[in-house]
A = this chain, B = another copy of it.
Amino acid sequence: MKTDIDRLMAERDMGALIVPVHEVYSPFLDYLVGSVRITHGMAVKIRDRDPVIIAHGMETDEAAATGHQVHSMAEMGFYDVLKAADNDSGRAEVAFIPHCLARLGVTGGKVGVYGVGHLHKIIAQMDALRADFPDYTFVGESGRTLFDEAAITKDADEISRIRVVAAATNAVLAQTWDFIASHRAGDDETVIDADGQPLLIGDVRRFILGALLAQGLEDTGMIFAQGRDAGMPHSRGRDEMPLKLGQSIVFDLFPRERGGGYHHDVTRTWCIGTVPEAVQAAYDQVMTAFDISVEVYKPGLPTRHMQEAVQDYFEAQGHPTARTHPGTDKGYVHSLGHGLGLQVHEKPGISHLSKDDVFEAGNVITIEPGLYYPADGYGVRVEDTFCINADGTLESLTPFKKDILLELQG
């Protein structure tokens, strides 16, 4: 949780951390200071003190809306630093970092650098910082980072926002089902509208985007993929393709609060009008795997055990898995799930390779078994988002029905 950040900094012997602001949405900035839409400056968190935002003068009002202390770059002396750097804004941006740290009382020691932004820029800046300001030790972090460890458990405010996003996403699922169902079957196994025009995946996607907008959400790259594309877990689906009867459709929706914020993540597999035998068999097994996941769950369980239980089951049914055939593109090819929050993929991981993760209260996770046979023209995945409550119970946040057969009513 956010309240763990000071402890996690202490464990890393980190006196301060900075989140540089680039012109890109940064969930790390939002996590540290709350939703803020700024494009310059940085957030500085000194251990055992509240974070501070250093913002361009054009953006101080936006930054102040977070409730945190805000200094304009001018107040912090940016224009003196710029002058000292002969108006070279690149050199000034580098020198401004230790300048601000010093103004805030941090004159050396280990400083973590976190965030989302331009990789080439931070690499060059780190080289310059380390060369020119040896009193500081600027560090990055990969693997299980400070932010991963904090965000692995959500606090009550986060959970309540996540519940709102969940309800809104479930409403969009229901509307999408009803929208497709309002169509009718045409010749050639196609789905057509009242005017006899084929319903395209692009039409469905636009409908979903409109429904998300009405709910205050935004898409972050939904999958609406049919047939062979459904058999490739991350194929987004092709807008120009007409919806067909009897094809598996993988619909994976992972929107967030508009402008950046908390996610929901849900997948349903639908077949319109009729379900081919092979798809039905895969669906039944995926549903069994889903039930196994929920049954083996208990608080304190290493997450890899849940994945292993599902792999045991799928392997017993004769499917290749990522454990028996690393890198396979058929069978059960991916992890069972993941944490989510301000990012769609967070800790804990639920993979057989997740060594350090155990289920605990405050986790918000997905469970998403799937089976993929692209060469046979189908894939099936079913996914809900869950939270683990204070009493250790696993609560689904995705009540929307898991039916595979979507009958046309039009």
Q: Which residues of A contact B (CB under 8 A)?
A: 20, 22-24, 37-39, 56-62, 72-74, 78-79, 82, 87, 89-90, 93-94, 112-128, 138-143, 145, 147, 206, 209-210, 213, 221, 229, 232-236, 259, 326-329, 333-334, 343-345, 353, 355
CA of A96 to CA of B125 in the docked complex: distance in angstroms?
A: 24
Contacts of A236 in B (CB 8 A): 37, 62
Given A113-B119, A116-B119, A229-B61, check contact A344 B140 (CB 8 Å). no
Q: Are B326 and A82 in contact (CB under 8 A)?
A: yes
Q: Are A59 and B234 in contact (CB under 8 A)?
A: yes
CA of A39 to CA of B338 in the docked complex: distance in angstroms?
A: 15
Contact of A119 among B140, B221, B353 (CB under 8 A): B140
Q: Are B141 and A232 in contact (CB under 8 A)?
A: no
Q: Are A333 and B126 in contact (CB under 8 A)?
A: no
Contact of A116 among B118, B328, B343 (CB under 8 A): B118
CA of A116 to CA of B22 in the docked complex: distance in angstroms?
A: 10
Contacts of A124 in B (CB 8 A): 139-143
Q: Are A113 and B120 in contact (CB under 8 A)?
A: yes
Q: Are B234 and A56 in contact (CB under 8 A)?
A: yes
Q: Are A141 and B121 in contact (CB under 8 A)?
A: yes
CA of A333 to CA of B72 in the docked complex: distance in angstroms?
A: 14
CA of A20 to CA of B138 in the docked complex: distance in angstroms?
A: 22
Contacts of A56 in B (CB 8 A): 234
Q: Are A221 and B259 in contact (CB under 8 A)?
A: yes
Contact of A37 among B78, B115, B221 (CB under 8 A): B221
Residue of B whose beta carbon sits closest to that of A147:
B120
Closest 9 CB pairs of A and B: A123-B140, A74-B327, A124-B142, A79-B326, A124-B140, A90-B143, A58-B233, A58-B234, A120-B140
CA of A343 to CA of B57 in the docked complex: distance in angstroms?
A: 22
Q: Are B127 and A140 in contact (CB under 8 A)?
A: yes
Q: Are B120 and A119 in contact (CB under 8 A)?
A: no
Q: Are A142 and B213 in contact (CB under 8 A)?
A: no
A213 CB, nearest partner CB in chain B, Å: 5
Residue of B whose beta carbon sits closest to that of A75:
B327
A11 CB, nearest partner CB in chain B, Å: 16
Q: Are A58 and B232 in contact (CB under 8 A)?
A: yes
Contact of A120 among B72, B114, B235 (CB under 8 A): B114
15 further interface pairs, Cβ-Cβ under 8 Å (given A58-B334, A62-B236): A37-B221, A38-B234, A57-B327, A58-B233, A60-B232, A61-B232, A87-B355, A93-B142, A94-B142, A114-B120, A119-B140, A120-B141, A123-B140, A124-B142, A125-B140
CA of A236 to CA of B87 in the docked complex: distance in angstroms?
A: 29
**20 A-B contacts (beta carbon < 8 Å):** A23-B343, A24-B116, A39-B234, A56-B234, A57-B327, A57-B333, A58-B234, A60-B232, A61-B229, A90-B143, A112-B120, A113-B119, A114-B120, A116-B116, A120-B140, A120-B147, A124-B141, A125-B142, A206-B213, A221-B259
